[in-house]
């Protein structure tokens, strides 16, 4: 017999198991990596010392485990803003408060090579989902501490990366100025890429704006690191180029954030500051030198 959920407005079981993700409190870490592709969850978990599958339902696959002794979770969001918003909503309800998108993207300028990583500081909200939550003028901004952790992780791993604004679209084809079926492209989409280049937007993807917007509204933290698998200026497209590097950076960023969070708890500070980062980095470097 199928059990009824709490209500149509609160679609979860009495124990808090969520309708779409099928996760409940205690299943997931406060730190959650968010790939779009369900298959990428296993790739992420491959780098953990210990992992287990928590749930799988529709496009949502969730693994939890430990990376360098830090409890960590990865959940796939599927493609686009609507499915991503569901993932963030339900993960937040069961205790997650820090989200890192680990995705793929198309770079807009030739100086970003296929295989490079892009760490987003914010997103142009070309999606429709975030507009259901807040006025269009509300910015989609990544959390500064998560962004800094991603930058430090990329530096420590020696991968090539760029930092800047992304544009998030609900459409992979026409919405990113790719011709639709039979070459269809409406007049209002023509010139979009050139315009975004002119205002220094680095890349196109499909989920960051929703993650950033919801995280800011709910007082949570969010960041994004994406592998450039395509370049819209050079027209090179290599599926999965840089994906493993993005995964490694995201995992390492969680470890760094955990170090900073523990330091905040120990010192009673509220915000991660440059001095705190310098202190923890000094200790990390000392431990490396001892080895």
Locate 267 and state its tokens.
Answer: 């010192």
Which fold would CATH assign to domain 31-287?
Answer: Rossmann fold (3.40.50)
Q: What is the DSSP letter of 21?
A: T
Average pLDDT rounded to a whole number, residues 94-113 = 98
Q: Where are the domains of the chain?
A: 31-287
- If residue 289 lies in a helix (H) or strand (E), which one and from where to where? helix 274-290
Angle, CA 97 vertex, CA 216 and CA 29 arms, to 5°: 160
Between the alpha carbon of residue 141 and those of residues 14, 101, 121, 223, the distances in Å are 34, 13, 6, 9
Asked if pLDDT for residue 78 goes beyond 90, the answer is: yes
The residues carrying an active-site annotation are 20, 90, 178, 232
β-strand partners of 225: 102, 119
Residue 289 has pLDDT above 80, yes or no: no
At residue 278, the pLDDT reads 82
The tokens of 86 are what?
A: 């569901």
Query: Is the pLDDT assigned to residue 271 strictly greater than 90?
Result: no
Count Cβ atoms below 10 Å from residue 258 Cβ, excluding itself. 21
What are the pLDDT digits (tens) for 161-194? 999 999 999 999 999 999 999 999 999 999 999 9
Q: In this structure, are residues 209 and 88 in contact, taking their beta carbons and an 8 Å threshold?
A: no
193-243 tens-digit pLDDT: 999 999 999 999 999 999 999 999 999 999 999 999 999 999 999 999 999
Distance of CA 107 to the CA centre of its chain: 17
Q: What is the DSSP string of 8-60?
A: SSS-B-TT--BTTT---TTSS-SEEEE-SSHHHHHHHHTTSSEEEEEEEETTE
Structure confidence at residue 1 as a pLDDT band (50, 70, 90) = low
pTM of the model: 0.94
181/109 Cα distance (integer angstroms): 25
Q: What is the pLDDT of residues 7-65, one digit of tens each?
A: 999 999 999 999 999 999 999 999 999 999 999 999 999 999 999 999 999 999 999 99
Q: How far is CA 245 from CA 47, 73, 154, 226, in A?
A: 11, 18, 9, 9
User: Of 134, 82, 104, which is closest to residue 224 (Cα–Cα)?
Assistant: 104
pLDDT at 290 over 60: no
Residue 182 φ then ψ, to 5°: 60, 25
* Residues 81-102, mean pLDDT to the nearest whole number: 98
Measure the CA–CA gap between 251 and 136, rounded to whole angstroms.
32
pLDDT at residue 2 is higher than 70:
no
Q: Which helix (H) or strand (E) element contains residue 245? A: helix 243-267
Residues 126-158 have pLDDT tens digits of 999 999 999 999 999 999 999 999 999 999 999
């Amino acid at each position: 017999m199928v059990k009824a959920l709490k209500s149509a407005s609160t679609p979860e079981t009495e124990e808090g198991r969520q309708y779409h993700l099928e996760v409940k409190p205690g299943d997931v870490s406060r730190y959650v990596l968010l790939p779009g592709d369900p298959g990428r969850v296993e790739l992420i978990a491959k780098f953990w010392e210990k992992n287990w599958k928590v749930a799988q339902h529709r496009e949502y696959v969730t693994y939890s485990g430990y990376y360098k002794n830090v409890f960590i979770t990865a959940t796939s969001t599927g493609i686009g803003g609507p499915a991503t918003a569901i993932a963030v909503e339900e993960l937040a309800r069961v205790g997650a408060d820090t989200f890192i998108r680990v995705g793929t993207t198309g770079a807009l300028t030739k100086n970003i090579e296929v295989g490079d990583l892009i760490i987003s500081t914010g997103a142009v909200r070309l999606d429709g989902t975030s507009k259901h939550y807040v006025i269009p003028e509300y910015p989609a901004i990544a959390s500064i501490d998560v962004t800094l952790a991603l930058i430090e992780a990329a530096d420590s791993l020696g991968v090539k990366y760029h930092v800047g604004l992304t544009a998030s679209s609900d459409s992979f084809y026409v919405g990113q100025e790719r011709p639709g079926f039979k070459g269809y492209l409406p007049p209002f989409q023509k010139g979009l890429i050139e315009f975004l280049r002119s205002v220094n937007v680095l890349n196109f993807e499909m989920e960051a704006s929703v993650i950033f917007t919801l995280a800011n509204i709910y007082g949570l933290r969010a960041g994004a690191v994406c592998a450039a698998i395509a370049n819209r200026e050079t027209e090179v497209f290599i599926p999965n180029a840089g994906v493993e590097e993005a995964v490694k950076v995201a995992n390492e960023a969680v470890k760094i954030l955990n170090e900073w969070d523990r330091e905040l708890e120990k010192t009673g500070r509220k915000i991660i500051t440059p001095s705190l980062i310098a202190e923890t980095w000094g200790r990390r470097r000392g431990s490396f030198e001892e080895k």
